[in-house]
Amino acid sequence: MADVFSFNNVAARQPGGAWQISGAVLTFSDTALQGPATAQGQSAAISSTVNRSLIAVGCTLDYQRGLTPVTPINLAETFMVVGQPVGQMSIEALIGPNTDIQTFLQEYGDACKFAKNAIQVDVAGITGCDSQGNPLPGAVTKGWTLRGVLLASLGVSVREIGQGNLSASSTLKLSFMNMEWK
């Protein structure tokens, strides 16, 4: 039978390996993720109080730039006009009996602080195996640093989650200027 999307050589494809992720960590900072130098000359990472009790249950990132192809009527060539990148981040967080979501809103909602606001997104414990089932060497951590972060919108949801229990959650939508691969 032919592939639904008319993709060639579907039957000839072989397994290429597998991987798993054991965790992900969001680190919030208002000092571009670097603190003052220690006595040994090393820069200490700063973590805001938001890290300890903002209960983030989901995160989505989108980083894009505008691309506009231009084909002049007097040439047989196409040129690409490339716009500046801009990113969007969405964080789903549970609202619990603490003030950390309020702290987050104050820090990341203040337009005067956006140049210092940064978020580190790490995907930790990436392990896997090759196509023969042999483990790949060591677990790794990959991530991204988002800089110039500013809260763009906030949504709140309260719903019953079963057996009379209620859950309050928020969707925080942020904009960022720069995304660096770690």
Give, in degrees to the nearest 5, the angle at Cα 63 between 57 and 181.
Answer: 80
What tokens were used for 10? 């579907």
Percentage above 90 pLDDT, the chain: 30
Rounded CA separation 36/49 (Å): 17
CATH of domain 26-181: 2.40.30
Give the CA distances from residue 8 to residues 4, 17, 34, 131, in Å, rounded to whole numbers and listed in that order: 10, 21, 49, 21
Task: Check residue 22 and report its DSSP letter.
Answer: -
What tokens were used for 86? 């801009």
Rounded CA separation 164/7 (Å): 49
Q: Beta-carbon neighbour count of residue 125 at 10 Å?
A: 13
What tokens were used for 14? 């072989």
* pLDDT, tens digit (0-9, with 9 covering 90-100), for 68-108: 999 999 999 999 999 999 999 998 888 776 666 777 888 88
pTM of the entire predicted model: 0.68
Rounded CA separation 62/118 (Å): 16
* pLDDT, tens digit (0-9, with 9 covering 90-100), for 114-145: 888 888 888 877 778 877 888 877 767 778 88
Asked whether the beta carbons of 51 and 33 are under 8 A apart, the reply is no
Amino acid at 58: G
Element (H, E) at 171: strand 165-176
Closest by CA position to 104, among listed 52, 166, 50: 50
* pLDDT, tens digit (0-9, with 9 covering 90-100), for 29-69: 654 444 333 334 333 333 344 555 567 788 899 999 999 99
Contacts for 31-38 with beta carbons within 8 Å, 24 or more apart?
31/116, 31/118, 32/116, 32/118, 32/147, 33/118, 33/120, 33/145
Q: What is the pLDDT of residue 53?
A: 53
